[in-house]
Amino acid sequence: MKKIWEKDKINTSLSIVDDYCFEEGIDDDNKLVEYDVYGSIAHAYMLYKIGILSYDEFEKLKKHLIEIINLYRKGLFSIKPADEDVHTKVEAFLIKNLGEVGEKIHTGRSRNDQVLVDLRLFAKDKLLLIFEEAYQVVNTFLLAAKKYEYIPMPGYTHMQQAMPSSVGLWMASFAESLVDDLELLKTSYKLNDQSPLGSGAAYGVSLPIDRKLTANQLGFSKVQNNSLYCQASRPKIQLAVIQALVQMMMTLSKFAQDLLMFTTTEFNFFNVNPKFCTGSSIMPQKKNLDIMEYLRAKTHKIIGYQQISASIAAGLPSGYNADFGETKKPFVEAFEVTIKTLQLIKIVVPSLTPNIKNLKKACKKELLATHSAYELVKKGLSFRKAYKKIGANLKSIAEIDLVEILKQTNHLGGPGNLGISKAFTRLKNEKLWRKKQQVEFKAVINKLLK
Amino acid sequence: MKKIWEKDKINTSLSIVDDYCFEEGIDDDNKLVEYDVYGSIAHAYMLYKIGILSYDEFEKLKKHLIEIINLYRKGLFSIKPADEDVHTKVEAFLIKNLGEVGEKIHTGRSRNDQVLVDLRLFAKDKLLLIFEEAYQVVNTFLLAAKKYEYIPMPGYTHMQQAMPSSVGLWMASFAESLVDDLELLKTSYKLNDQSPLGSGAAYGVSLPIDRKLTANQLGFSKVQNNSLYCQASRPKIQLAVIQALVQMMMTLSKFAQDLLMFTTTEFNFFNVNPKFCTGSSIMPQKKNLDIMEYLRAKTHKIIGYQQISASIAAGLPSGYNADFGETKKPFVEAFEVTIKTLQLIKIVVPSLTPNIKNLKKACKKELLATHSAYELVKKGLSFRKAYKKIGANLKSIAEIDLVEILKQTNHLGGPGNLGISKAFTRLKNEKLWRKKQQVEFKAVINKLLK
Amino acid sequence: MKKIWEKDKINTSLSIVDDYCFEEGIDDDNKLVEYDVYGSIAHAYMLYKIGILSYDEFEKLKKHLIEIINLYRKGLFSIKPADEDVHTKVEAFLIKNLGEVGEKIHTGRSRNDQVLVDLRLFAKDKLLLIFEEAYQVVNTFLLAAKKYEYIPMPGYTHMQQAMPSSVGLWMASFAESLVDDLELLKTSYKLNDQSPLGSGAAYGVSLPIDRKLTANQLGFSKVQNNSLYCQASRPKIQLAVIQALVQMMMTLSKFAQDLLMFTTTEFNFFNVNPKFCTGSSIMPQKKNLDIMEYLRAKTHKIIGYQQISASIAAGLPSGYNADFGETKKPFVEAFEVTIKTLQLIKIVVPSLTPNIKNLKKACKKELLATHSAYELVKKGLSFRKAYKKIGANLKSIAEIDLVEILKQTNHLGGPGNLGISKAFTRLKNEKLWRKKQQVEFKAVINKLLK
Amino acid sequence: MKKIWEKDKINTSLSIVDDYCFEEGIDDDNKLVEYDVYGSIAHAYMLYKIGILSYDEFEKLKKHLIEIINLYRKGLFSIKPADEDVHTKVEAFLIKNLGEVGEKIHTGRSRNDQVLVDLRLFAKDKLLLIFEEAYQVVNTFLLAAKKYEYIPMPGYTHMQQAMPSSVGLWMASFAESLVDDLELLKTSYKLNDQSPLGSGAAYGVSLPIDRKLTANQLGFSKVQNNSLYCQASRPKIQLAVIQALVQMMMTLSKFAQDLLMFTTTEFNFFNVNPKFCTGSSIMPQKKNLDIMEYLRAKTHKIIGYQQISASIAAGLPSGYNADFGETKKPFVEAFEVTIKTLQLIKIVVPSLTPNIKNLKKACKKELLATHSAYELVKKGLSFRKAYKKIGANLKSIAEIDLVEILKQTNHLGGPGNLGISKAFTRLKNEKLWRKKQQVEFKAVINKLLK
């Protein structure tokens, strides 16, 4: 397809150039079609309001833009490398169908602010999905923590048995971790919720456009101000999102690493439903927990995407740079990987069953060394003396019922006081916040398409 | 020095082991002395309140702990590799001076939660400093934006001249960028503001400790709950801070890259005070802007530290892991680099003077191509047709006064409507928030040491 | 498709598991089909030689394996997520077509060593292609260096004009850089050229297999010995390749950054053929060098892939880990990006034309400051005194013909003594080495398929 | 100290500038003093040979340069931030002591090529040390492999018991891994062994300097040609070294991760000498293998340094850029960490003792599943049928002596055929190569200082 900006045959860019620059991003551009339409309708509406389009022209454009969504959903509107990108394809469609009216849609905007709008709306949608999935995972961990609250297990430091722990403490730790991660995600959500539309190529446009109007039409909570910063913010806000996703993957990666160790023959603390396992082509007996190994590896991948997104942007001068194009894929993929991971964890956790017998057997008497020292402390010995006394004679440690110890460790956040019901309450409030965001966004889009 | 946990001569760890594990961290441990004392006083007070220490014992401990601060400030309390770490050294000091009373200080805590407390307090202090410096930098950029609001300069995309821009738009873009970055930093501040004290080695302690009390004593806004998560959160909250610092460095790195280009002989848009320049050993004529090159490079370093902090933690099982030790240095250094960078930018920006003549000369007529197309649009041509018409005949572009164009581009955030006074107002509110935090923290520490 | 290792319906893995683990790798698995066939033929031949297959059985397997290649080339053999991977699909095809004979192919091997073989052969092919492309790029740079040997241009340090340089020196520097990079690539080629076949799952097999025979059949220069190390070497040798590709991309990224700066309006040192440029949707006048921006960004991507490949593998215990699966894509993609980049540079370089007039005009008198100091040195002044004298009076610098200075700077490697003909000779020898490798590899594969 | 290039008081750079740019590198500059002297002697000798210095002047310079080494070794010559760097300090020392003769030393060179020489000589020294330490580690692993050749242990894939392995196979795998890593290190050694002296600031010098002479004087195997590439090669060759060090750390990190798992209470496969362990401040019973956790973490650090070194350099234009300064520290530290790690592993490995009883007990019957399938294959069943038969009835697996199976797995590289004596032979040859390099380098330096 001849590109909008191509002035003549002679200067047409080579296909190797298109391929090098645009091919990789095409898949992701196909994911932006609906958002590009939303942004275009809002923009056209504003052009009508400021007198650049007549109402009739706006109506025509809107109708055909909605038609693009219909075609897209039927698989009849897909972007190919020769189309360059979703924006060019959408404009070309309008021009083909509407002639001169179509030629007006791009008045007062640039693909630079257009892609920003698309990515912000796309990200909003995905973030709302991630919140939903993450809340379900938190719920899942809390339920498991409640169910196995007082099942003792060895607690480890330095990968060595340290002190008594519980399946409850272990499960609940991931719930609390995710809730903190979601704080970071909320801040990135907030940064993402700014409208870049109207910033043009980075220097605004010498037309009396109404940026507040388009921001409202699209449900953004504010206009992102400085037009030059709008462009600078593209890789930065994407990075802020990825940074929060990295934190979530790290939480889940720890769970994966634990589970891989706890399901070795040697530990054998948990049973995993075989539906989550894979086999070997050579060894008849194998049941492998590939999913947890992949989760472990994918975490490093997303951390690497964080690195790539930051490095690409770090050395760039002000203004739009085509380097931004390479940040699209890590952004989109970071979302997809995190969503899939949450969906998986959501069903793996409830399927785990602790091998209570093995867990009990694994708890060596030495786990009680600190507790024994505290018993001496209660009798008046200084802690350091008690520590040395027990250390010098580990055999003197008395066997005590582990559940007793767990219940005795009942200060805030100890295994005997996990605070699960408070956590459920907090979760409920978080869900309400998300619900509100979701409902508002949906309402805005529905109104736009009506 | 014999370590607390060393049971006998035979089992003493080799010096190569100490060296491998602890040497590198010693410098950073020396930066934690005061915070270790704060945490220890709060912990001792709590031990008194729950009846493990008498009031007299608490008073003695407090007195000697404050003495440590005095010695430290005189350079008479410094940790060496053989001391292992700050915590061991502090405990050893108390035991040496107070005998059995000193042996009681470690009751109900572990070095694992102790170092967490130290790092959280250290981070709080540094974060408050960074907010202060960053606000000053924002102020500096806004002042420069106001001063040079309508000085035209070429606006670039793809490193090619694109549309008219202004020194004001350029300066103000960094201010807005930093303000967004500070949103992320505030969330990390919030996550950091949780008290891990009382989580012990990761599994709590079987003593009736009062975690709320110590949290209040130290000015934390809440108790960090799950004791196992407390440990897991160490590298994660450190990472959250670094992630926000990365964003700030990226903002400033863009300024550095711009400035390096804008001060080449070929661009020559700005004069830099020679006090910020360095010379060459071979070339008599050179004035180099090393600081901006270093800033550019240090940004990649902090991005790398983000990577290191994340990778180290990503694969670790639950519970304390000594790997955490290696995350201390990138954390401390990320703070130091960012602070120095802000302090530098704060004085570089006001020292810059635009070469107004060169800036004007640099603005080629083609910058007005889009504007010219809009003029045709105003006469009724569709944008795409106008675009093509101008594109086919760039020579037809009329010379127009650039300041006029800038002023005409007066939608929200355009060069003609930078919103600087609104930005100053926002900045003022941010400063109030910080001030409140600072005052409260100071009051808490003063009370602790009284 | 039911997987080979699936024992019954009940234990079938969920599709979400397949999706999470295998979906992403499917594209890459499709690139391994031919190599999987090569490895399978060699393995089957060996099984025949040690008496596990009859000659007839071997012939049947070989025939159907070659048939897979035929189908594959016609697009009729493609792996889908439900097929799990290329190895399972190939075995399934043989079993479907040959029944019991097909069930014998996997005797004495594992998918773990099979995928290693596939990746090594794939990498060999790609490496040979990269050498070819890289030699052509070196040739291109050398030709340009020769062509513009004495075209003066300013030489920069710290992005400031420093001393006289030449287009020749600049062009030739990239040629020399690439030749050094190829040294690293050759070492990775050598490491890759070891046969892992027969290492089984990582622990060998209790069958009298002949690893030397299969290594020879497949053209490997040696057997990779320790069966456990064979698995460990998978991410490491992949990483060694990526590390060398990183170096190549860094060489070309410097060229990109230079070119982007040298083609700004302000520098305007080179003309680029418009066929390599793209336009803007909003600005009629723009000609952007997107390809160089993409090259700059893709370099950071490949550096990030290096990071991902290393981080994933760094913390893994011995033996095969499914995490390896996630290293496949960065490996394959690093090849593809580097190849495309070389192919692009190969045609961009000869299309560049220096703006001789601008280059000359850009050369400020100050470039001669060091030369002027040397002139004083020749008259007996100490260098430091001469340096200061010139530095204090830059206006005293005499205009001298730049070409004269270039020619005078004729020590080894100076602009007056680039050593281009020696470089051509070296290149010729490198090409001979590659040719030999290519011919031998082709011969081996032809023999295998005969 | 006033810097060489400072023309007057007014233009003196601010101390905050010195601090920002040079402070961090000062430690590393102190490590370069001797190399700076070597380079300076060689350079002065060449200046004498081409007639710029008299023999007497050369002798004086040489004498005082050697004096610098003497002072340095006594701790009386150390660089401070105000000195800027080692080069400035050395020149200033000569000028202070020799007046006008000192002012001649910098004729025909730049700090840019000077620091390159220093870093190359420094790296050569460190590389030769690393080869020595690494060979000893290889030796250590081979000795352990020989000693425990037929001690059975479970072999793992996916962290699950897979097939019979041996302590010998495990130990030998690290030896082979390191030997491959050293191939990469040798290539970086070769790239590093090029003399950049005479490339000046990047554009050569207009004096008839003799680069071959200085290269020979300093023992470089060749002159690095293109003067512009000399500068470009600085971060690249540093990176090549770090890339090889990353590979070595990855090998050793795998050993660390294995050992941490194999010394958990649950596995308990090996005893570690308590001298390598550390204790806990709270838990009396703990013996932690901190060193292996630190090794695991330091590996990620060095991988991060690889990333930082590459990212910093990736986007830079041609010519010297001050950003290079930030690559010095990761380079120096990567050496130090790797050396310490090798020295540690060298003594840890021989101190390990396998818990033969536990290893035996750990080997579950299912490890023999594949072997059992092969037994059916030998009786004529197809492998896939045998696999399914065993898979469906794992209880049918016969107990077989594990040592028998190990010995039976005697193809190349299997546990029954480790090829240890061949490995010792290869090691011997490697050592000879290193010895030769070491002897030659020492001879050159001795001659230089005579």
Give the mutation candidate from C112, C253, C264, C294 for the A interface (greatest A CB count, under 10 A).
C294
pLDDT at A8 over 90: no
Q: Are B316 and A254 in contact (CB under 8 A)?
A: yes
Q: Tell me the CB-side half-sphere exposure of residue C403, using CA atoms within 13 A.
A: 6
> How many Å lie between the alpha carbon of D65 and the closest alpha carbon of chain A?
40
Cβ contacts of residue C154 below 8 Å, gap of 6+?
B265, C161, C162, C164, C165, C359, C362, C363, C364, C367
Backbone φ and ψ of B158, nearest 5°: 55, 25
pLDDT at D9 over 60: no
Helix D227-262 × helix C167-192 angle, to 10°: 30
Is the CB of B199 inside 8 Å of chain D's CB atoms?
Answer: no
Long-range contacts formed by A343-349: CB under 8 A, 24+ apart: A343/A133, A343/C16, A344/A291, A344/A295, A344/C16, A344/C17, A344/C20, A345/A137, A345/A140, A345/A252, A345/A255, A346/A133, A346/A136, A346/A137, A346/A140, A347/C16, A348/A272, A348/A276, A348/A291, A349/A137, A349/A140, A349/A141, A349/A144, A349/A171
> How many Å lie between the alpha carbon of D216 and the closest alpha carbon of chain B?
24
> Is residue D158 among the annotated active site residues?
yes
Burial of residue C425 (CB within 10 Å: 0-12, 13-18, 19+) is exposed
**Partners of chain C (3+ Cβ pairs below 8 A):** A, B, D
CB contact under 8 A, B10 and D274: yes
Nearest by CB to residue C289, choosing from B158, B289, B364, is B158
Question: What is the C-alpha separation between B249 and B335, in angstroms, rounded?
Answer: 11
Q: Over pLDDT 90: what percentage of chain D?
A: 89
Instruction: Please report the sign of the dihedral spanned by the C-alpha atoms of residue C263, residue C264, residue C269, residue C273.
Output: positive
CB contact under 8 A, A275 and C13: yes
Q: Is A353 helix (H, G, I), strand (E, B) or coil?
A: strand
Q: Are C364 and C154 in contact (CB under 8 A)?
A: yes
Q: Over pLDDT 90: what percentage of chain A?
A: 89
- The model's pLDDT over A81-91, given as tens digits with 9 standing for 90+, comes to 778 899 999 99
Which candidate, B302, B308, B341, places its Cα nearest to that of B323? B308
Is the CB of D277 inside 8 Å of chain B's CB atoms?
Answer: yes
Question: What is the C-alpha separation between C151 and D364, in angstroms, rounded?
Answer: 75
pLDDT band per the 50, 70, 90 thresholds, residue A2 = low
Instruction: Please report the sign of the dihedral spanned by the C-alpha atoms of residue D88, residue D93, residue D99, residue D103.
Output: negative
pLDDT band per the 50, 70, 90 thresholds, residue B11 = low
> Is residue D280 among the annotated active site residues?
yes
**Partners of chain B (3+ Cβ pairs below 8 A):** A, C, D
The residues in B 378-407 lying below 8 A from C, measured between CB atoms, are 387-388, 390-391, 394
CB contact under 8 A, D419 and C230: no
Contacts of residue A261 in chain D, CB cutoff 8 Å?
Answer: 159, 261
Determine the pLDDT at residue C4. Answer: 64
Determine the pLDDT at residue A286. Answer: 85
Question: What is the C-alpha separation between A103 and A89, in angstroms, rounded?
Answer: 13
Amino acid letter, D282: I
**Residue in B with minimal Cα distance to A163:** B203
**Residue in C with minimal Cα distance to B364:** C265
Q: Which one of the listed residues D13, D15, D54, D280 is annotated catalytic?
A: D280
pLDDT at A5 over 80: no
Residue corresponding to tokens 């490996």: C331
Nearest by CB to residue C227, choosing from D169, D225, D226, is D169
Q: Which one of the listed residues C13, C15, C54, C280 is annotated catalytic?
A: C280
Determine the pLDDT at residue A25. Answer: 81
Q: Which one of the listed residues D158, D206, D311, D411 is annotated catalytic?
A: D158
Instruction: Please report the sign of the dihedral spanned by the C-alpha atoms of residue B389, residue B394, residue B395, residue B399.
Output: positive
Q: Which ipTM was obtained for this model?
A: 0.96
Is the CB of C288 inside 8 Å of chain A's CB atoms?
Answer: yes
Question: What is the C-alpha separation between B206 and A407, in angstroms, rounded?
Answer: 9
Instruction: Please report the sign of the dihedral spanned by the C-alpha atoms of residue D9, residue D15, residue D21, residue D23.
Output: positive
Which candidate, A246, A218, A244, places its Cα nearest to that of A44? A218
Nearest by CB to residue D308, choosing from B277, B300, B324, is B300
Cα D10–D13–D16 angle (5° rounding)? 135
Question: What is the C-alpha separation between A135 and A430, in angstroms, rounded?
Answer: 8
CB contact under 8 A, B184 and A240: yes
Is the CB of A326 inside 8 Å of chain D's CB atoms?
Answer: no
Determine the pLDDT at residue C176. Answer: 98
Is the CB of D267 inside 8 Å of chain A's CB atoms?
Answer: yes
Question: What is the C-alpha separation between D30 and C268, in angstroms, rounded?
Answer: 43
- The model's pLDDT over B260-297, given as tens digits with 9 standing for 90+, comes to 999 999 999 999 998 999 888 888 888 899 999 999 99
- DSSP E strands: which ranges in C317-380? 353-354
Task: Spell out the alpha helix ranges (H) of B193-226.
Answer: 211-217
Burial of residue B214 (CB within 10 Å: 0-12, 13-18, 19+) is buried
More confident residue, A12 or B255: B255
Determine the pLDDT at residue D266. Answer: 97
Q: Is B166 helix (H, G, I), strand (E, B) or coil?
A: strand
Which candidate, D197, D193, D202, places its Cα nearest to that of D114? D197
Nearest by CB to residue A283, choosing from D163, D267, D364, is D163
Is the CB of B111 inside 8 Å of chain D's CB atoms?
Answer: yes
pLDDT band per the 50, 70, 90 thresholds, residue D10 = low
Name the β-bridge partners of B222: B194
Determine the pLDDT at residue D5. Answer: 63
| Ranges in chain C, pLDDT < 70 | 1-12
The mean pLDDT of D72-76, rounded to a whole number, is 96
Give the mutation candidate from B91, B264, B307, B412 for the A interface (greatest A CB count, under 10 A).
B412
> How many Å lie between the alpha carbon of A186 and the closest alpha carbon of chain B?
9
Is the CB of B346 inside 8 Å of chain D's CB atoms?
Answer: no
The mean pLDDT of D177-205, rounded to a whole number, is 98
- The model's pLDDT over A112-163, given as tens digits with 9 standing for 90+, comes to 999 999 999 999 999 999 999 999 999 999 999 999 999 999 999 999 999 9
Contacts of residue D284 in chain A, CB cutoff 8 Å?
Answer: 369-370, 372-373, 387-388, 390-391, 394
Determine the pLDDT at residue C23. Answer: 81
> How many Å lie between the alpha carbon of D246 and the closest alpha carbon of chain C?
8
Name the CA radius of gyration of chain A, rounded. 28
